[in-house]
Structure 1
Amino acid sequence: MPKSKRNKTVTLSKTQKKGRERKEAIVNEVKEAAEKYSSVYVFSFENMRNQKFKEFRDQLKSTSRFFLGSNKVMQVALGHSAADEIRPGLYKVSKLLRGNTGILFTNLPKEEVERLFNEFEEYDFARTGGTATEKVELKEGPLEQFTHEMEPFLRKQGMPVRLNKGVVELVSDFVVCEEGKPLSPEASRILRLLGMKMATFQLHLMCRWSPDDFELYIQGPDDSDVENS
């Protein structure tokens, strides 16, 4: 009698082990970096663009090491309190790892790090759900920036268009997006076609740690206890 498929044993141990090993590896790498580099920064980010961040990271790879991922894993590595921190004062860094944040370990002078972060700014097309930075409205009439082949696609995006002697024409005024409101999938596609970039990828320094100093750059309502502890 053939074996029943219902009795087939499925093990998840390999997947679980791999995930645990990866977390342990990150913890060890963070601890090693904390011993190797002279200062530590926490930074926050807006509108992350992976390729642009990779280019920025590669620019500093000879002097620095970035960690971007699970905040909880990095907190474990640095220590949650003065009792389990790996170096004096690093638990203050750990407390700031929440939301869209990362860590920079570096041997660069403070002034150089501040300059690099202050100058870093990349503009890109906004994605679905992003916030419109301005109102965009197209007026009734010909849309000569679009070829006639694009008319069906524009219609699918909700635009009231038609072909008039081979020219794409808007039959009535059309609001693509409103300032301060989330972008729909259709709006983000239209803005890309219009060449309008509304997303700014920025990195903001939150704090700096060195063996002799701890400094907050951005202090929120919940961070006063970090600076004073």
Structure 2
Amino acid sequence: MAHVAEWKKKEVEELTKIIKSHPVIALVDVAGVPAYPLSKMRDKLRGKALLRVSRNTLIELAIKRAAQELGKPDLEKLADYIEGGAAILATEMNPFKLYKLLEESKTPAPAKPGAVVPKDVVIPAGPTSIPPGPLVGEMQALGIPARIEKGKVSIQKDYTVLKAGEVITEQL
């Protein structure tokens, strides 16, 4: 039988305790969220909810253990939704108020190669603040209808560069 690291056992115990002691439990995918925005989210949640990032397998074990100890087999279904870099969000808050708080705390982040876009990415038609240069050629190579007008790059018509679910390329 394989030896299980002591810290893993303690982490599952702690996660189980968190799950059992809060009436509202949510899973959050924090994969790809940089440290600073994550710390800002923790600040916003402080006093209202506990955000605990851990390994997916440990979270799954804790959910199953809590479901068994609480006699709530439906709780185990939550483990089916673990994906990416999971974290547990535990609170006493009404789930709808929690959702609203999380939506309000969203901040835009720069696009990174390899990231999957959650919604269509559209470059709107019109002038930009971008000065003329090699970027125009690169945009045109990607199919973006760009040209130089009045000393600035101008997009000729709305252009969808990525559809929801597509991956950002290095070139893009």
Task: Compute the TM-score of the two structures, normalised by the length of structure 2.
Answer: 0.62
Q: How many residues align?
A: 137
The equivalences for 1:165-204 within 5 A come to 170=133, 173-176=136-139, 179-180=161-162, 182-184=168-170
**Aligned-partner Cα distance in 2 for 1:172–1:118:** 34
Q: What is residue 227 of structure 1 aligned with on the other side?
A: none
Write 1 or 2 for the structure with the bigger share of strand. 1
Q: What is residue 38 of structure 1 aligned with on the other side?
A: 23
Q: What is residue 207 of structure 1 aligned with on the other side?
A: none
Q: Which moved more, 1:72-81 or 1:112-121?
A: 72-81
1:113, distance to aligned residue in structure 2 (A): 0.5
Which runs of no fewer than 5 residues in structure 1 stay unpaired? 1-16, 137-142, 145-168, 188-229
The amino acid of 2:107's aligned partner reads E
CA RMSD of aligned residues (A): 3.3
Which runs of no fewer than 5 residues in structure 2 stay unpaired? 125-129, 144-160
1:28, distance to aligned residue in structure 2 (A): 1.3
1:86 aligns with 2:52: no
Identity between Structure 1 and Structure 2 (%): 15
Q: What is residue 28 of structure 1 aligned with on the other side?
A: 13
The equivalences for 1:5-16 within 5 A come to none
Task: Compute the TM-score of the two structures, normalised by the length of structure 1.
Answer: 0.49
The amino acid of 1:104's aligned partner reads L
**Aligned-partner Cα distance in 2 for 1:171–1:31:** 55
Q: Quick check: 2:112–2:168 contact (8 Å CA) kept in 1?
A: no
Q: Deviations over 1:47-75 (max 9, x none)?
A: 52321122111222223221223111111
